[in-house]
Amino acid sequence: MSEVVLTVSNTTPLLAGWYNPDLVDPQGLRATEIKGVWRWWARAVIGGSLYDTCMFIGESGDDIVREPSRDEARLINCLIGRILGLGYAGLEGSESSRFTLMVEPVTPPRIFSVRRSNISRDYQRLALLTLGNRDVNYVHPGAEFRITVRRIRTRYADAENLALKILILALQLEGLGKGARRGLGSLDIRRIQAIGVSVPEKLRDLINDIYENALDIVRRYSGDCGKRTAGSCDKRALPPIPVISRSSYQEGNVTSIYVVEGVTDLGRFQDIHNFFVRTRRCRVLHGSLVCNDELRNRLQAWILGLPRSQRGTGYILSEGRRGRVVDRRASPIIVSYHSERNLLGAGVFATFTTSGDWPRELEWVGDGRRSLVLDEQGIVEAMRTAFQEFNDYIERLGYRMVRVWP
Query: What SS3 class is residue 119?
Result: helix
Kindly indicate the confidence band of residue 5, based on its pLDDT and cuts at 50, 70 and 90. Answer: very high
Query: What pLDDT was estimated at residue 357?
Result: 94
Give exposure, 288-297, as e/b (b: 16+ Cβ within 10 Å): eeeeebebee
- pTM value? 0.92
- Residues 235, 238, 244, 250, Cα dihedral to 10°: 70
pLDDT at 91 over 70: yes
CA atoms of 65 and 131, how far apart (whole Å): 33
Q: How confident is the model at residue 34 (pLDDT cuts 50, 70, 90)?
A: very high
14-29 mean pLDDT: 82
In angstroms, the CA 195 to CA 206 distance is: 17
Whether 255 shows a pLDDT value over 60: the answer reads: yes
Expressed in angstroms, the distance from the first to the final Cα of the chain is 32
DSSP result, 202-242? SHHHHHHHHHHHHHHHHHHHGGGGT--S----TT----SS-
Residues 6+ apart with CB under 8 A from 263: 269, 272, 337, 346, 347, 348, 399
Q: Write down the mean pLDDT value for the chain.
A: 89
Q: Where are the alpha helices (DSSP H) in 130-276?
A: 157-173, 203-221, 266-273
Sheet holding 313-317, edge to edge: 308-310, 313-317, 361-365, 369-373
Helix (H) or strand (E) segment spanning residue 381: helix 376-396
CA-CA-CA-CA torsion for 330, 25, 13, 135, nearest 10 degrees? 90
Q: In DSSP terms, which residues pair with 104 in a beta bridge?
A: 146
Query: Considering the chain, what percentage of its residues have pLDDT values greater than 70?
Result: 90
Task: Report the amino acid identity of residue 118.
Answer: N
Consecutive H or E run containing 115: helix 114-117
Beta strands 187-195 and 3-10 are: antiparallel
Higher-scoring residue by pLDDT: 252, 135: 252
Give the separation between CA 362 and CA 234, rounded to whole angstroms: 30
Q: Which carries the bigger pLDDT value, residue 70 or residue 267? A: 70
Residue 198's CB is within 10 A of a number of other CB atoms, namely 8
List C-alpha distances in Å: 184 to 8, 84, 113.
14, 28, 15
Distances (CA, A) of 215 to 75, 208, 224: 14, 11, 15
pLDDT at 120: 54
Q: DSSP per residue over 279-291, as a string?
A: HHHHHHHHSSSS-
Reported as a pLDDT band with limits 50, 70 and 90, residue 89 is: confident
Looking at residues 279-291, what average pLDDT do you find?
88
